Amino acid sequence: MMDGLLKYLPKMPEQKAGWPWNTQTDPAIFDREPHWPTITIVTPSLNQGEFLEETIRSVLLQNYPSIEYYVIDGGSTDNTPEIINKYKDHITWTISEPDQGQSEAINKGLRKANGLMFNWLNSDDILAPDALFHIASAFIKTDPLVICGQTILYDQETGKETVPFVMGVNKTPEETFAYPLINQPGTFFNVEVLQKIGGINESLHYIMDVEFWRRFLAFYGVGRIHRMKELVSYFRYHSASKSTTNLPNFSKELASLDLYLAQQLKYPEFYIDWIRSRTDQAVQYLPSAWDFPALDQKRLKSMQIRDYLIELYNQGKRQVCKAYLKKYPGYNIPLNDRRFLKLYLKVMILPEKLEIFLRKMFNLLIP
């Protein structure tokens, strides 16, 4: 529509104003290209009626000319069905039925996706103005497998916002894999990539984005990831969000994934035992189909083992650290790795009493 969707959408609540209530992306910005790639967005929802309308409007008022928008509800008992019905004429497809959780809901949409780019937008998050214009423009110019835009975290109760941040991508796929910094709502994937590596792991309820990101990195590496400076999304913290009420469950799922990977990649037993000590036996990772062609497994192992040994040393467990270094000298850690060499000199070369003395002198000289 030449004048945008705003005047065609259902009437907004009277007390609302600003984006995405009475403002919209200017549809004229799409005149510069004759053909825009289709983007598929899925909103999984369960009893988030308080926020869902804002989420839906933030997608529709992008005025993007080629969009598939699916709203997948898990059988909500609040006002969610009313809101979905209110906007059903503007949603590509929706369903409301009990499911096994957010991951299954996302996969329902993914299986129907005909777009070139895909993301899911949780029912308490919103897209920023012009977000899809920026995503599609980057896709046209760079032909990436992943496009990472900026996201702002904001607190529903206090109104405070963070500075924008983007998905963490380091110099190597091994660093990026080992220490993931996730920005899910701001990251759009090539649909074929998602489908090729198996979609979202439906056994996971908290770290499905971390697990999928790692599977992507293991298979494709970091060569075709495009990061942008433009703001794409807002991630909402509120009292009922999983990110604030279920942090221990995030840690448990992540530990179960780490244990599986350490076993699959044949890490040394002392490292596997450490990972196992952090796991909850009641939380078992049900593996996806993994393949690791883009990862240098030796580099990944050496990096994570090095950092574990440094952690032991910093905890005052010098003798434990020394025993591991004797049993696994270097463990494929490159000799030019300064952090490892520094640790090795402290633990294996420098006498403990001398090190304590030097530390005391250093603290006296530099308070």
Per-residue model confidence as pLDDT tens digits over 251-286 = 999 999 999 999 999 999 999 999 999 999 889 999
Question: 341 and 207 share a domain?
Answer: no
- Sort residue 4 into left (φ over 0), alpha (ψ -120 to 50) or beta: left
Q: Which of 205, 222, 244 is the last residue of a domain?
A: 244
Contact of 144 with 136, CB cutoff 8 Å: no
Pair 239, 253 in one domain = no
Tokens of 258: 């780490």
Are 199 and 258 in a shared domain?
Answer: no
- Residue-wise pLDDT tens digits, 51-88: 999 999 999 999 999 999 999 999 999 999 999 999 99
Q: How far apart, in Å, are the Cα atoms of 54 and each of 121, 124, 128, 293?
A: 12, 8, 11, 41
Q: How many structural domains compose the chain?
A: 2
1 occurs within a structural domain: no
Do 11 and 148 reside in the same domain of the chain? yes
Amino acid, res. 255: A
Segment (H or E) for 148: strand 146-155
Range of the domain at 273: 247-365
Claim to verify: residue 182 and residue 46 sit in the same structural domain: yes
pTM for this predicted structure: 0.92
Q: What is the pLDDT of residues 36-56, one digit of tens each?
A: 999 999 999 999 999 999 999
Helices (H), 265-296: 269-277
Tens digit of pLDDT for each residue in 171-227? Answer: 999 999 999 999 999 999 999 999 899 999 999 999 999 999 999 999 999 999 999
Whether residue 272 lies inside any domain: the answer is: yes
